[in-house]
Amino acid sequence: MFIPREVDASKILITAKRLIRSARKNIRATMNAAEEIEHPLPREYFLLLHKKMNEGILIQRVVFGNKKDLYKIKDRIEVNHPYYKFISIGNRNYKRMLLIDDSKLLFSKKEKMRNRYFYTENKKLVADYKKYFKAFWKKK
């Protein structure tokens, strides 16, 4: 059993890119539109996602936020590719996560007004986050 390992906030992007590079089947991610506006992901992150799509890796993103925020980032999150799917959801029940091949999970927990980041391969925790993620696709 793998206990979640804390990832330093300064290394979160490096860790996420490393995990994305390791993907062989799918990449499932959540995104908060307001956070994306305030702290946009770098271009190299999206180039990496495009590379994975071109390799046949399915990318699914659930975007949380209001319509105004979604409009502001529309050009950055809309991708016209058969291996890219995203849906937008309101502001309810947001959990930040990146799930690779349904086996590697990077997630955050808010504690005392700050986010802490964790990585795990714990099958139960991974299954819980996958279930959370897939619930939004079923409502679509």
Please, what is the average pLDDT of the chain? 90
What is the band of 3 on the pLDDT scale with cuts at 50, 70, 90?
Answer: confident
What is the Cα–Cα distance from 33 to 73, expressed in whole angstroms?
Answer: 7
- What length does the chain have? 140
- Tokens representing 11? 């290394």
Contacts of residue 101, defined as CB under 8 A and 6 or more positions apart, other chains included, come to 22, 23, 24, 25, 26
Residue 37, CB-side half-sphere exposure with 13 Å CA sphere: 15
* pTM reported for the whole predicted model: 0.90
Domains and CATH numbers, the chain: 5-139 (3.30.870.10)
| pLDDT tens column, 5-49 | 999 999 999 999 999 999 999 999 999 999 889 988 898 998 999
So what's the pLDDT on residue 80? 83
Q: Is the pLDDT of residue 65 over 70?
A: yes
Report whether pLDDT(93) > 90: no
